[in-house]
Structure 1
Amino acid sequence: MDIDLSRRTAIVTGSTAGIGFAAAVELARLGARVVVNGRDAQATAAALDRLRRLVPGAEGLAVAADLGTAAGAAALVEAVPKADILVNNVGIYEPKPALEIPDEDWMRLFEVNVMSGVRLSRAYMPGMMARRWGRVVFVSSESALQIPVEMVHYGLTKTAQLALSRGLAETAAGTGVTVNAVLPGPTRTEGVRGFLAKMAADQGVTEAEVEAAFIRENRPSSLIGRFATPEEVAAMIAYVCSPAASATSGAALRVDGGVVRAAA
């Protein structure tokens, strides 16, 4: 299988931790020059240092920019004018009753989760198409297919990413550029681990017991019966970024542990 990404520049948005960082590490291991992004300059630089420790000899660049704004997206494009791979991973969420979500929260999640990908794809895809090779990946969620009642606005943005991904794949048809969406399910990121640890301490049980209860009560359709790891999700992202995935475009690829009860 051809998974050599040497001489390729890969941008991974929101990559200081979690799935984004794991994807950045995996792409670096495959030889890509990886652009690490976050809002905070210190945290972004620290993430790049950590990546270089994990992947000795890795080439990389840290670009701090708030991609929830047009100015932030423009700053990233100015710092990195050309990219071969774009992983639109940056995203935010918050639990809130649907009928209590104010306009500003709807717009804030849409700007970060959707418009960041719109702006960056618009900036980088023409160059990819002209060079006849490129990969764009949207990190969506199983929440795109099963809208969480406690986060309707988040679910809406993740569904929007699927429509955007498919539409951009149609736009790039026949150019050698592929566009796909990856849909993680419950994933044991740093934030989730902190949440589980707090719940375990509050309840006087182990983190493993809290995780098992969450799956049992909130994701009973899970076939793996556990949270995925960021590295498991990153493996799918890296695959669709590779030359080996040249016949995969316009797809919504689930890494949800079988949470979504569908055969396709």
Structure 2
Amino acid sequence: MSEKSAPYIRVENLKKYFHTKSGMLHAVDDVSFSVQKGETLGLVGESGCGKSTLGRCIIRLLESTSGRVLITDEKGTDGYTDITKVSASQMKELRKRVQIVFQDPYSCLNPRLPVRELIAEPLIVNRVFRDKASMQRRVRELMSIVGLAERLENSFPHELDGGRRQRIGIARSLALDPEFIVLDEPVSALDVCIQAQILNLLNSLQKQFGYTYIFISHNLSVVKHVSDRIAVMYLGKIVELSDYKILFK
């Protein structure tokens, strides 16, 4: 990570409001920060503070109410493209660069598909390969990268433990060679011993491929283990943002 380089992604005055029976809910309320290329920004806060909503708005799984999310792009204005403003076709291309890993791997996987088809799905949707042999090689490569044995390629999600299911989710997120990944509570649904394995895998992948992460969690000890900087969120706002060494001093 280079401290002097321009940020890889910049979030500026981002807001996400929801209409409720009791009035307007400010889930994300005027949030601004930046993330350097190759950095892990930990986003921590209590349940309901808006951190997962923020993560989804950043990669436009949710439409924001206002604000900008600027991602490095040589073709964009001043070297950036605003994710919140691009067309559907442009967003489809950007999805190859920005991905997400969800909290509950089981709910995100089609129970009727075996592992090989689950991992191949992003490749098929984006028409990455013209022949099945090339796609199958890529699927097996991804399985190897995330630590899934090749013998599991015909297994179904219900036959696997939570750790292996989360590895499938990670493999799917890596399929299109992204640069930026939102990790939304990726280990909170796992046993403690499995949590450590997944965290070590994510660290290893970042060192190997240079990914930029936003790591969302309610667990300070987990965030401390993986983050370069940590943002603390409360009631839709970032109330503190600092280097993890300073925060835990």
TM (norm. structure 1) is 0.30
Greater helix percent: which structure? 1
Report the structure, 1 or 2, having the larger strand content: 2
Larger relative contact order, structure 1 or 2 (CA cutoff 8 Å, min sep 6): 2
